[in-house]
Chains A and B, each alone.
Chain A
């Protein structure tokens, strides 16, 4: 079962873990952008989520509360963005970038004194004999519960956006906020809710990095994962299941790249490192060729602020 010296079963199992943070953050950002808001502060919300989750987990000794703390931290920071863009109508791009810078600094400040501490261990879901099944066992039944939860969340977001009244309202606000307003929906309040959800998801993703993947706190721990999450949303053309594919692809290439090296493959590192971004460009070119913005599936009001008096 070896392919170029790499066991594909172990590879798939580890890429599923590697993809969780970017998948959660991308999923949150997808909902935010579906509501017509472009929040470029994902990186900042992730790292604040990472430190909030870490502090909570260390002080309570419970990873579950840690993840909850991460989500609350990310959501709290996103409310700063929501206040600035939805109430004060500040420019979304500039505010989002500022949020990232602010988040990185805030996390560094909060993390003082938390270096070198080990967080409580997040347990694998006990699947009993299922985990011993060859091939399927390590891939499907031998992960911590956040891996399963991240996949479940993709399904939930997909279902809510596609099949519920709430999803319809969110999409209406994102496609045409004037029309949604004319129908009587509170555009800014709905967007505020979506932004908070996006923040919570980014915080959850950040907490996964500091509690499971690296398990420790160091400054700058997210190291650009938030930007990759933003790229995945575009790559996925705003569709939840494609976010899952995109996250596995991006997470997978990193893991594959390192595994190939460890296995002594002759493929140069640089090509593998750049391949996810090449694929993103390729996908964007293919998707946008010919049929215009509609084919890209981008929400029509993306990045535009709404003021009812207009």
Chain B
């Protein structure tokens, strides 16, 4: 936290609209989050529902400021694609991490935390804690 590099956040959904909207929502709910690099990676490159490894890799590259990248996913192929890319070793920026978190609530928590200049561990912890937020 000694330097001012912000953690980047990638939001991977089967749907381009969901990924983009959740990115917008998270930035909107997080005061002062304008500086946080957030990139959606939704759907397939042809616009259909699914996961594109290319879009995920491109999104991660655009948000990488050298402080690590937190990747949040919805389900199924989104999770498996990110895991497979991480296993490749060189497809994603160094310090990229799949964060185990609920997609919407986790994204808000991650962006809010990243906006404070917190490091990747803290951003990941905040996003994971969103699982504990019970609604009833």
Our verdict on whether A and B bind, yes or no, reads no
State the A residues within 8 Å of B (CB).
none
